Structure 1
Amino acid sequence: MRFLLVEDNAELADAVVQRLGLDGHAVDHAGTLAAAEDCLAVAEYDLILLDVMLPDGDGRDFLSRHRDHLETPVIVLTARSQISDRVGALDQGADDYITKPFDFSELEARCRAVLRRRGGAAKNEITLGEAVFDPMAGTLRHGAQVLDLRNRELRLLEVFARAQGQILSKGQLLDRLFSMDADVTENAIEVYVGRLRKKLDGVGVRIETVRGLGYRMDT
């Protein structure tokens, strides 16, 4: 999935980007609200992690301006521990909050919970043919076997799983899998799709090439 992190602390931002990247997520980092506006103008995100105190304004004002038309879930990152601050963030449209300093495992868990709620699911699992996919845990089970998928393959499978039957272009897949500063081309998508196809062989899931348009997953 693709996340936008709005955080002016470079050390913390780098740590968050690296940690979420280990799970195969693409994370764009904006150090100011102006940079965040630029990111939103050119990309779509599955989740926004939003700091409150930023050099050019308050993250909660940014949230208030966008919430009426922005459906992307938002987790507010705040150093303020007062209940009134947390309640205020939720009332202004945040889907959740986490207080700094935080443990990365808690951040990951809150991201999973928010994405699960936004998807309308009571649990993480998605049935794909004869297999059961849990995108949050990063597992694909076929009977008693857990198939070995690397992180980027898992995230590609997640994109397809949430858009079954839809045609996704190479450009769309590239946007979902890689951040803005990643030096990759659409050829990388061909490679990952090829790898994923091999690992899905025999589980009742097919990734079809739609000539001139992209790919489509059918079960």
Structure 2
Amino acid sequence: MRVLLVEDEAKTAGFLAKGLSEAGYGVDVALEGFEAQDLIEHERYDLIILDVMVPGLDGWQLLKLVRQRADTPVLFLTARDSVEDRVKGLERGADDYLVKPFAFIELLARVRTLLRRGPPRELDHYRVADLEVDVLRRRVTRNGQRLTLTNKEFALLHLLISRRGEVLSRTLIASHVWNFNFDSDTNMVDVAVRRLRAKLDDPYWPKLIHTIRGVGYQLDSGDDETRADATD
């Protein structure tokens, strides 16, 4: 589960991000509104925790942006504790409203509740051609043969297959699999894909992982025209 935390106080943001990470969530932090806007427009989150008073775009504007794009649950976390503000937040589409100061254990309980209410969870089992991925058992087979993957290889495959057909940039892959962004000249993503291909694609047909020149990678079994510029 991926969470976007929008909080302009760096100390508070660090504390919350650490606690949420320890609870098992992937966390991105935005310290101001325009940074949050960029993440909302280019990433997919299971939950957004949103302070009302952040510089740049404020919480109300960001909430409107979220609701124009998706039904992602939004939890307002703010010092604004008036009834009017709470009603305004809920009427504009927030799913919950927690007033500062707060106990982290209460925040965590509200996060878990919202995620249970959210969109259906991702699949536990995927199949593409003769590739099967059992997420819960962390079991991968190709043509009936068991494949042994490292943790990072499995995380990379899970990302690719859960977004089958999408072209994923190297930066996006790095942020999801390693939880941070690599410099543009770093080839770690390419190396990881090459190692995964050696186990997943080299001995089998059809090839499933495709390189899209100048963009990134895609997992798919078809040979449609959308990959006319791909190099396998």
The one-letter code matched in structure 2 to 1:109 is R
What whole-Å deviation, never above 9, does each CA across 1:112-157 have from its counterpart, x for those lacking one?
546x60xxx36642323332225xxxx62359x997653x555533
Give secondary structure in 2 for the equivalent of 1:173.
helix
- Give the conservation status (yes or no) of the 8 Å contact 2:86–2:97: yes
What whole-Å deviation, never above 9, does each CA across 1:92-118 have from its counterpart, x for those lacking one?
12245566323375466357546x60x
Q: Sort the Cα spacing of 1:5 and 1:170 in 2 relative to 1 into closer, same or farther, 3 A.
A: same
Q: Which one of 19, 34, 37 corresponds to residue 37 of structure 1? A: 34
Task: Give the whole-Å Cα distance in 2 for the aligned partners of 1:204 and 1:125.
Answer: 24
Q: Sort the Cα spacing of 1:154 and 1:21 in 2 relative to 1 into closer, same or farther, 3 A.
A: farther
Offset at residue 187 of structure 1 (A): 0.9
Task: Give the whole-Å Cα distance in 1 for the aligned partners of 2:25 and 2:199.
Answer: 17
Q: Sort the Cα spacing of 1:75 and 1:102 in 2 relative to 1 into closer, same or farther, 3 A.
A: farther
Task: Give the whole-Å Cα distance in 2 for the aligned partners of 1:57 and 1:215.
Answer: 33
Match of residue 191 from structure 1: 191
Match of residue 109 from structure 1: 112
Offset at residue 190 of structure 1 (A): 1.2
Query: How high is the sequence identity, in percent, across the aligned residues?
Result: 21
Match of residue 74 from structure 2: 75
Give secondary structure in 2 for the equivalent of 1:8.
coil
Q: Sort the Cα spacing of 1:147 and 1:12 in 2 relative to 1 into closer, same or farther, 3 A.
A: farther
Q: Which runs of 5+ in 1 are unaligned?
A: none
Q: Sort the Cα spacing of 1:8 and 1:19 in 2 relative to 1 into closer, same or farther, 3 A.
A: same
Match of residue 46 from structure 1: 44
RMSD: 4.6
- Give the conservation status (yes or no) of the 8 Å contact 2:124–2:135: yes
Q: Which runs of 5+ in 2 are unaligned?
A: 222-232
TM (normalized to structure 1)? Answer: 0.61
1:9-158 matches, within 5 Å, as: 9-19=9-19, 25=26, 27=28, 29-31=29-31, 35-41=32-38, 44-47=42-45, 49-54=48-53, 56=55, 60-67=59-66, 69-71=68-70, 73-78=72-77, 88-96=88-96, 100-103=102-105, 106=109, 109-110=112-113, 112-113=115-116, 117=119, 121=120, 124-128=123-127, 129-134=131-136, 140-142=138-140, 149-150=150-151, 153=153, 155-158=155-158
Offset at residue 84 of structure 1 (A): 8.0
Offset at residue 216 of structure 1 (A): 2.2
TM (normalized to structure 2)? Answer: 0.59
Task: Give the whole-Å Cα distance in 2 for the aligned partners of 1:21 and 1:205.
Answer: 38
The one-letter code matched in structure 1 to 2:69 is L
Name which of structure 1's ranges 187-196 and 53-62 shifts more when overlaid on structure 2. Answer: 53-62
Q: Sort the Cα spacing of 1:190 and 1:65 in 2 relative to 1 into closer, same or farther, 3 A.
A: same
Task: Give the whole-Å Cα distance in 2 for the aligned partners of 1:77 and 1:146.
Answer: 43
The one-letter code matched in structure 2 to 1:36 is G
Task: Give the whole-Å Cα distance in 2 for the aligned partners of 1:61 and 1:39.
Answer: 12
Match of residue 209 from structure 2: 208
